Copies of this chain bind each other. A is one copy, B any other.
């Protein structure tokens, strides 16, 4: 299964959720193309890597498809996530409204700054980094989020992996060196801005 196909599943699920809210019961791949911008053929091909989801001549049941894609992504049951870093980014992540829909739950928030430890951010009390291993073990989290400065990222990542984390979202602008069985997804906002900068600068009209 191609990684781009997996990456598009999130797009589909977001769209299906919206259709559900609007009360739409059924969609065709053509409809999905209109809603997501992904071509009908691409949509059907993407799904085909995972099984059969529709009925020929009819289309797809919105709710069923949403549920089955959720199961594929393993977001059909609540999943514990560790968040390291309680700075501005960490705080914004805690306030993010989408956790619930995707069935993720912040199991614990860590920081090493004594000024932050013990403070409450929304419904989370910031814990001392020292307790990372202990808490990771007790909640059995497999996914962690790195919202720490670049110079701290590798050290924290190593500790998370040692504590049983096998998937990491890395917001720090640094390349992590981790065992190959650990999956890492980089989120680099400023990189996106730089790419955009090139694209708008080299646009046909207006130079």
Q: Using a CB–CB distance below 8 Å, which chain A residues touch chain B?
A: 6-7, 9-11, 13-15, 35-37, 72-75, 79, 81, 87-89, 91-93, 95-99, 102, 104, 142-143, 145, 149, 166-169, 173-175, 181, 183, 185, 187-201, 203-206
Contact of A102 (CB < 8 Å), options: B81, B168, B190, B203: B190
Q: How far is the CB of A195 from chain B (nearest CB, A)?
A: 6
Q: By the criterion CB–CB under 8 Å, are B10 and A191 in contact?
A: yes
Residue of B nearest to A79 (CB): B197
Can you add 7 more A-B contacts, CB < 8 Å, to A11-B175, A14-B173? A9-B194, A14-B174, A15-B175, A89-B95, A98-B190, A102-B193, A145-B193
CA distance A206 to B81 in the complex (A): 18
Q: Give the residue among A6, A9, A98 with the most B Cβ atoms within 10 A.
A: A98
Q: Which residues of B contact A168 (CB under 8 A)?
A: 196
